Each structure stands twice: as structure tokens, then as C-alpha cells.
Amino acid sequence: MKSTVSKSSRWPALYRVVIWLLLLLAAFGVLQYAAHGWQAFGILHGQKLAEADRHKLWAIIAWDAAYLLGAGLTVMVSAGALMGREWARRGLRVVASLLAVWAAVSAGMLLSQWGDFSKASHQLLAQPNLPQAGREMIARYRLTLILGTSFKIVAVPVLAWLVWRLGRPSVRAHFKATPTRLFAKR
């Protein structure tokens, strides 16, 4: 007997999986930026610092606040899109577009610094009196740089695909223009 269920309806739509991943990564970002900003704020108010150091810490707190706001916005539109809200679908297309551009630019910046980092790390590693902790720190930074750049390079086409997919009529049909009530009157 032939199944009447289409193959595409048996599996969750891939765009929903990507939205879930985006939601989880953004939620992690919220926690990371909030913790880092809180830590910088604690240092600012817990220690006597030179004026230049105070300005640097305020700049760090400002960047953390901006990234926290962006991550929070990403959580909001991702959750709304998973709930099938039209406003969230449109918002997620904008957020995913901005994230794709940010990932492409920052990956390019990391790649442009790779040569300088590689040269400097080889010079440091060539020193016989470099402690083991220094060698491990260089190796950890190299791995972080490679993984971060690779993640951003992969993210660009995935985010661009998500923007495209959320604009398709077949996907748009799954989103409701009017919000439903969370708590219906009985």
C-alpha cells in the first residue's frame, strides 16, 4: 500500500532545525554576554583603576550590552518563528541577513590576521626557553581561531539559505499573521 504522506511531511522542516540551532546559540550568547558584562562591571566597581582602564572597561561593558541586546533579539524572533508568527518570520529574515553579513566580515578579518598570527606564533614557539604553558596557550588560541573562522564560514551560506527559505511561499504559508491567545477565555 502506498503512503499518502509526502516525504517532506515525515521529517521536521530543515529550516525549523536551523531556527532551533540559532535559538540555542543566541541563548548561549545571552548568558555569555551577560556574565562577561557583569564580571567587567564588578571589576569596574570593585577595584581602584586608572582613568584609561576605566574607559576601557566601560567600552567593554557597552559592547557586551550591544551583543546582549542582539542575542536577546535573536532569541525573541527565533522563538516567535518557531511558534509560527509572521512578524517573527520577517524579523528573523532581517536578523539572519545581518548575522550572515557579520559572519562574512568577521571571518574575513580573522583570515586576514592569520598570516601575522602564524608568523608570530612560529617565532615564539622557536624560542627554547618558552614555558610549556605558553606553548599550550598558543596552541589553544590557534585552535580557537581555526574553529571560529570555520564556524563563521559555514554560517554564511546556512544563514543565507535560511533567509531565502523563510521567503519562499511554501514556508510563508506556515506562519500566522494574527497572534493567537496564549490563555484562551473559558
pLDDT digits (tens, 9 = 90+) for 94-121: 999 999 999 999 999 999 988 898 898 8
pLDDT > 70 fraction of the chain, expressed in percent and rounded: 89
pLDDT at residue 183, rounded to an integer: 62
Total structural domains within the chain: 1
Q: Which residue has the higher pLDDT, 39 or 3?
A: 39
What's the predicted TM-score (pTM) here? 0.80
Query: Quick check: is 178 in a domain?
Result: no
Domain that holds residue 22: 12-172
Residue 126 CA to residue 133 CA, distance in Å, equals: 15
182 — pLDDT class (breaks 50, 70, 90): low
- Contact predicate 103/152, CB 8 Å: yes
Side chain identity, residue 7 = K
Q: Which residue has the higher pLDDT, 184 or 163?
A: 163
Query: Quick check: is 180 in a domain?
Result: no
Query: Quick check: is 55 in a domain?
Result: yes
Please give the average per-residue pLDDT across 124-132, as a whole number. 88
Query: Quick check: is 46 in a domain?
Result: yes
Query: Quick check: is 117 in a domain?
Result: yes
Q: Which residue has the higher pLDDT, 51 or 148?
A: 148
Query: Quick check: is 107 in a domain?
Result: yes
pLDDT at residue 134, rounded to an integer: 86
Q: Residue ranges of the alpha helices (H) in 47-168?
A: 51-82, 86-125, 132-166
- Contact predicate 166/93, CB 8 Å: yes
Please give the average per-residue pLDDT across 5-27, as a whole number. 79
Query: Quick check: is 155 in a domain?
Result: yes
Query: Quick check: is 78 in a domain?
Result: yes
